Amino acid sequence: MKVEGMTCQGCVAAVTKAIQRLDPAAQVSVDLDAGRVAVVTDAQALDVAQALGRAGYDAEAMTG
């Protein structure tokens, strides 16, 4: 996912926590410099994006 608004390690923690609240078993990898988050989860991409939106980040699914 492309995620806008991440600027520090606190953001990385907040993004990870928001996704893991949605799916505690989710595997989350955040690339702060690129503004991208890789997520392995059973949740739908839209649900993940909405969870990140509630946490204050603008997120959109990416393919490839």
* Beta strands 27-31 and 58-60, pairing class: unpaired
Q: What is the pLDDT of residues 9-38, one digit of tens each?
A: 999 999 999 999 999 999 999 999 999 999
Residue 55 domain boundaries: 2-60
CATH number (domain holding residue 33):
3.30.70.100
Q: Which residue has the higher pLDDT, 57 or 64?
A: 57
Q: What is the pLDDT of residues 31-62, one digit of tens each?
A: 999 999 999 999 999 999 999 999 999 999 88
Which regions of 1-64 does DSSP assign to beta strands (E)?
2-4, 27-31, 36-40, 58-60
Count how many domains the chain has.
1
Q: What is the pTM of this model?
A: 0.91
